[in-house]
Structure 1
Amino acid sequence: MKQIVITKYGDPDVLKIQERKDPQPSAEEVLIKVKAIGVNFADILARKGLYPDAPKPPCVVGYEVSGTVESAGPGVDASIVGQSVVALTRFNGYSDRVCVPEKAVFTIPESLDFEHAAAIPLNYLTAYQLLYVMGGLKKGESVLIHNAGGGVGLAALDISLHLEATTYGTSSVGKHSFLMERGLNYPIDYRNQDFLSSIMNLTGGKGVEMVLDPIGGNNWKKSYKALRPTGRLGLFGVSTVTDSTMGRVFQFIKLIAQTPRYNPLRLMNANKGVFGVNLGHMWNERDKISGWMQEILKGVEKGWVRPHVDRTFRFEQAGKAHRYIEARKNIGKIVLVTGG
């Protein structure tokens, strides 16, 4: 098999294709011949040495794939062989073949091709956990989605619209028309507008019931201020660490220095809540994730889950895919295709 290996920390040129022995499925696993691979910001952080959960180089990252089941290990019903599936992977997703626990594998709805199926798991599961499971967003409430044009942002927009919430979203102005066509009520140009002032002006000084913030640092402080009483701030990333030209150690020191401290007594007095989501730490909760994924796939069939693939890159173009995301050019998902 072929894998895209992070050979060392660095720029996208450190990604190299290497040949490895084909894997064999263990008990309760299946072997997937991969057709498409979802590319996520966590992959970029891992490549730069800014993602503590990732294995150290040389390593293979990747959290989601789609393809066909090539073989089944002991304890797996052999009828699954040949089926078109989408799967969650605990790294090793940047491969043209990968073994995955059967519980992490889901049948692809007929309306989806492999590329759009690979665009679903991480983004929609993260957004579902943020908005529905932990955020409890309800009809008539309002939500501010930072980086609304990203993969999780578009997934959150789909779910928020399904819940009949009022939506606000930050993005560069070039993405506003697309987002409004997708249903976003109020776009905010984060480069030329102060999002906190914009939210307060748009809501008559009240603020919103939810904010989804993957940015970190000082942005979290402003997002908290954008909440009205009973508001919830969902934290799920620290993309700000990639904006610095400092070394890895100094980037983490700066991040820690800028991170706000949420005092329990002040939270009580303000009637506000703060919570965090890291899907990468949910691997031992497979029953929960499986249930959420089934609901999301039902959403595909009913039409309210609409995965958007901005662009596909060939397997050997993983470095170009990373550069494209880092330049913030994408609207929605970037996917690698194996051609297999």
Structure 2
Amino acid sequence: MATGGSGKVMKECMLTGFGGYHKLKVVDAPKPGSPGDGQVLIKVVASGINFAELHARQGMYKSKDGKVTPPCVLGMEASGTVEEVGKGVETLQVGDRVFCINMFELWKEYVVIPANRAFVMPDEMSFEEAASIPVNYLTAYLMLFDFGNLRKNKSVLCHMAAGGVGFAVTQLCKTVENVTVFGTSSEHKHKAIQANGVDHPIDYRTKDYVEEVRKISPNGVDIVLDPLCGADTKKGYDLLKPMGKLIIFGAANGMTGEHKSFTNLASMWWSLPTFKPLSMMTSNKSVAGFHLGYLSGDDESEAMITDAAADLVRMYKEGLIKPHVDSVWPFEKAGDAMKYIADRKNVGKVVLSWEKKDDTEEKKEGGGEKKDEGNEKPGVL
């Protein structure tokens, strides 16, 4: 473990309680001391925001170690520079630019984490891009290539195709020969997701995506990635071809707006289908669940994450993938940035930065840096 405090002060973005966006506050805290054996001290530049943080703020997130309880610091991914390495660390050195992943605690100016959770960035990668890699791209990679066994000539339905995971999924699908991607999003984001590689964009607000998929592919698709849960899980299962795979990795249908909705949660829960082994056997379909936050702790899982991160770095260097950063916000505006995501205004990844000045009012009002693609009203995606 890290040694005691250094006596110096840093900033951290703390969740002071469950509830509204105002519960996130930037406060002073002791800077960590020197890293212990197998650890590194990182000066954080940028961090990504994910639905995990939105759920945690509402009191809806349970980590591997138990429910997230305020006061606490969120943040599952970050990028920055290695300031000090602990004994036994051979993969990193002082000055390395890295991206990292951890079970929260990364919305700080300085963090001490295990060295195997940090990965050297390519020289040409920005800190904002790097902060967009860990959660979204590792999730997409492990779902598609490990669970999904994606191969050439297959088809994938990706919900929330304009989000961080959606952009990652689409780009990774396009690294495999002749993979067809169906992507749902609101219509004003179709141009962006098509430019990213979606073959068939579907406006989920005005059309039945099941009907739209079957118009093009009457037999359905090979892989459905479901971040929605609830009734959409049954629809996804029914859309699978024989030998198809449904992979559930989120519950966006259970979350709305600023505060937790028990009505939404109950509705989602009761609309979930029951999968019976015998009926699944005769339909030749499979169902899987994926949660990156629970895939850690043992050597085999850590090795899987390390290998995937290395492959993602290779793909970036070869120009096969590139994170799409929607907007960058100062940590003081973390609550506003969360609202921006909850209102479905983002196209790609929303990032927080300790170096960003507080000039985000125009983003909040105008839909971010992509004003022609923003301003989407709240809804379920």
- Structure 1 length-normalised TM: 0.96
Per-residue deviation at 1:244? 7.8
Give me the whole-angstrom Cα distance separating, in 2, the residues matched to 1:244 and 1:336: 20
| Secondary structure of 1:261's aligned partner | coil
Of the two structures, which has the highest relative contact order with CA contacts closer than 8 Å and spacing of 6 or more?
1
Tell me if the contact between 2:92 and 2:120 (Cα under 8 Å) persists in the aligned partners.
Answer: no
| Secondary structure of 1:184's aligned partner | coil
Give me the whole-angstrom Cα distance separating, in 1, the residues matched to 2:159 and 2:40: 37
Q: Residues 308 and 246 (structure 1 numbering): CA distance in 2 closer, same or farther, change over 3 Å?
A: closer
Unaligned runs of 5+ in 1: none
Q: Residues 69 and 160 (structure 1 numbering): CA distance in 2 closer, same or farther, change over 3 Å?
A: same
Q: Residues 121 and 246 (structure 1 numbering): CA distance in 2 closer, same or farther, change over 3 Å?
A: closer
**Which residue is 2:294 aligned to?**
281
Greater Cα offset, 178-187 or 74-83: 74-83
Tell me if the contact between 1:229 and 1:272 (Cα under 8 Å) persists in the aligned partners.
Answer: yes
1:9 to 4, 10, 18: 18
List, as ranges, runs of 4+ consecutive aligned residues in structure 1 with deviation greater than 6 Å. none
Per-residue deviation at 1:201? 0.9
Tell me if the contact between 1:5 and 1:16 (Cα under 8 Å) persists in the aligned partners.
Answer: yes
Give me the whole-angstrom Cα distance separating, in 1, the residues matched to 2:158 and 2:194: 13
The answer as to 2:198 corresponding to 1:198 is no
User: 1:238-297 CA distances to partner (integer Å, 9 max, x unpaired)?
Assistant: 011113898565554333212111111111111111101100001222111001110111
Give me the whole-angstrom Cα distance separating, in 1, the residues matched to 2:231 and 2:120: 41
TM alignment of 1:64-83, pairs within 5 A: 64-77=77-90, 80-83=93-96
TM alignment of 1:13-28, pairs within 5 A: 13-24=22-33, 25-28=35-38
1:315 to 318, 328, 331: 331
Q: What is the aligned-residue RMSD (CA, Å)? A: 1.6
Q: Which residue identity does 2:308 align to in structure 1?
A: W
Unaligned runs of 5+ in 2: 1-9, 357-381
**Which residue is 2:343 aligned to?**
327
**Which residue is 1:256 aligned to?**
269
Q: Residues 184 and 250 (structure 1 numbering): CA distance in 2 closer, same or farther, change over 3 Å?
A: closer
The answer as to 2:307 corresponding to 1:291 is yes
**Which residue is 2:133 aligned to?**
120
Give me the whole-angstrom Cα distance separating, in 2, the residues matched to 1:82 and 1:145: 38
Give me the whole-angstrom Cα distance separating, in 1, the residues matched to 2:41 and 2:54: 26
TM alignment of 1:133-152, pairs within 5 A: 133-152=146-165
Tell me if the contact between 2:256 and 2:342 (Cα under 8 Å) persists in the aligned partners.
Answer: no
Give me the whole-angstrom Cα distance separating, in 2, the residues matched to 1:245 and 1:79: 40
**Which residue is 1:172 aligned to?**
186
| Secondary structure of 2:303's aligned partner | helix
Give me the whole-angstrom Cα distance separating, in 2, the residues matched to 1:29 and 1:97: 13
Q: Alignment length, in residue pairs?
A: 339
TM alignment of 1:79-98, pairs within 5 A: 80-98=93-111
Per-residue deviation at 1:316? 1.1
Tell me if the contact between 2:101 and 2:117 (Cα under 8 Å) persists in the aligned partners.
Answer: yes
Q: Which residue identity does 1:184 align to in structure 2?
A: V
Q: Which residue identity does 2:199 align to in structure 1?
A: N
2:69 to 35, 44, 56: 56
**Which residue is 2:377 aligned to?**
none
Per-residue deviation at 1:216? 0.6
**Which residue is 1:156 aligned to?**
169
**Which residue is 2:354 aligned to?**
338
Tell me if the contact between 1:72 and 1:78 (Cα under 8 Å) persists in the aligned partners.
Answer: no
